Amino acid sequence: MILMGAIPDSGGVRFSLWAPEKSRATVEVDSRGSFEMAGNGDGEFSVDVAGVAAGSRYWFHLDDGGRLPDLASRRQDADGASVVVSNTFGWTDNAWNGVEGCDEVLYEMHVGTFTAEGTWLAAAARLAWLRDLGVTVLQVMPVGSFGGAFGWGYDTTLPFSPFAPYGTPDDMRAFIDQAHKLGIGVILDVVYNHAGYGDYYSAYSEHFFADRHSEWGRAFNFDGPRSRAVRDFFVQNAVYWIEEFHLDGLRIDAVQELVDSSSEHILAEITRAVRKAAGARQIYMVVENQPQERRMVEPPERGGCGIDAMYNDDFHHAAHVCLTGHSDFYYRDYRGSPQELVSALKHGFLYQGQRSNMRNRPYGTPNLLTAPRHFLHFLENHDQIANSANGSRLGSLSSPARIRAFTTLLLLGPQTPCLFQGEEFGAVTPFLYFLDREGAAAKQVAAGRLEMLSQFQSVRDPAMAARLADPCDPDTFQRSKLDWTQADSNVGVVALHRELIALRRSHLALSQRSGARIDGAVLAEAALALRYSMEQPEHDRLLLANWGRDIVMDVLPEPLLAPPDGHHWVARWSSEHPDFNGAGRVPVDLDEVWILPAESALFFQAVENLS
């Protein structure tokens, strides 16, 4: 397939599109007139127009119809005109090697709410903060153009065009270039599972769509008649972000909705294409995959998609029940037991093919042999915060000490941790669902949100339902913006995250490259032990977490608590250090009776005995 969109060269611009049901196509260039596009008989139309340069505005016309934006527009003006963009940004990241995929620390952000300004330039001013925190990869929520002035971005209508309110395409490039300069990779959340509200795909061809709907809208045609061109369009989109924006990979949304019976699944094709486009630069590919399929991370030669990591909702859900005590709706598959957390830290997914109570059928696939680096663990993300009546952060739902203990499990656990913007300083601002719509569309969005949230029994209370934030109200968007003054006042929370990430980097046993054998045990009704065993015993580490009451450690029939031969345990770190707003560290001597404090976590190092 030809490269779609407006592609500048030394003499002008080549305009190309795909519209197989149309017999005629023209491009209207502002102040230049209209130019007939030549068809190739397979739905592709193109024309070279001399003298057109970057910044020129244009529209497509099909069969003498009205103005249409370019589906592959690189920039959109507010009035609907597409704009020619040149790829002449002055990159300074030639030495950047990409994202390795081991020992990463991810950070999810939404450009529009990350700062008060809601722009790439304002976000770039915070990159040094994230570098100092220890973040290695930014995961940016979708930025493809969509209708309205604000939204999460999952209703993408023009996937090549960065959302204009965030800034220009070069502003986005400057953000990525600065991140690379600071040693931070950037991956982009992309949406290939449905067309956003108000899309233009049908105006070009009904073949863009399959004869089915995803959970959110019309699904794309990846395996039906004329699907080759549709696949090429989205493969080109993925490659575009890697080549023209130097992105380090993609996070692909809800891939269970990418129905594809082709010999090579569209995910595998996209992953293969972006790795090739990146050349020597290492690419990091992430998916959200509700069925929890191992084939996502299996290599292509074994029939897999070659993805690097999958989000593990099971860890979040089990931790959420522990932290809050609530097990409604999809949380009812979890008891919040320490065994669930031990199993998640050892095996990743908790559901690997056994029956799910919520679904009343088997859920998940076998993943016992899947390496920890293939799982992304988190305590907060955009969905899980917003999937509540008030968009409340964990700080509003649990005690600070308990959150410190679970943050320790997240950041010292063997899987790859991911933070959500503001989590690192205990943000109390909500993160709500917001989408700019008007009239009947706004009512439809609000009704859909109420229907979804009403699966939580508490939201069925009419008094609670009446208080739900209106997704289409600009105030809902404004309320979701981070308040960075909280970072200055919550220094203890910031220190906790910085120290834990530093610990993760400084202890060999915590590295995903170390080959450490991970094992865990339940110590009490709300306490666990996690043991990192190494070939050299001085590298062994032990993590204890207790989110219940004080535990008198007198009877210890658990072998994981025993130090390696010729060594003893020394407590190196406590979540209750006053630097983290804790209650203070208690004396610990594992050769004596001692107390594992309530709502705390302790990290131990094996030290060789002197005699």
Catalytic residues: 253, 288
- Give the residue from 228, 235, 129 showing the smallest Cα distance to 184: 129
Rounded to whole angstroms, how far apart are CA atoms 286 and 97?
18
Q: Where are the alpha helices (DSSP H) in 395-525?
A: 400-412, 439-453, 462-465, 474-479, 485-489, 491-506
CB 452 within 8 A of CB 423: no
Cβ neighbors of 509 (< 8 A, separation 6 or more) are: 516, 532, 533, 534, 539, 540, 541
First-residue to last-residue Cα distance in the chain: 73
Strand pairing category for 44-50 and 12-18: antiparallel
Q: What is the 3-state secondary structure (H, E, C) of 31-90?
A: CCEEEEEEECCCCEEEEEEECCCCCCEEEEEECCCCCECCCCCCCECCCCCEECCCCCCC
- Give the residue from 540, 427, 429 showing the smallest Cα distance to 494: 427
Taking the alpha carbons of 44, 45, 50, 54 in that order, is the dihedral positive or negative? negative
CB 499 within 8 A of CB 432: no
Q: Quickly tell me which residue has 């963009």 as its tokens.
A: 85
Strand pairing category for 551-553 and 567-574: unpaired
CB 332 within 8 A of CB 256: no
Half-sphere exposure of 577 (CA within 13 A, CB side): 18
Rounded to whole angstroms, how far apart are CA atoms 591 and 387?
46
Cβ neighbors of 133 (< 8 A, separation 6 or more) are: 107, 424, 494, 497, 498, 501
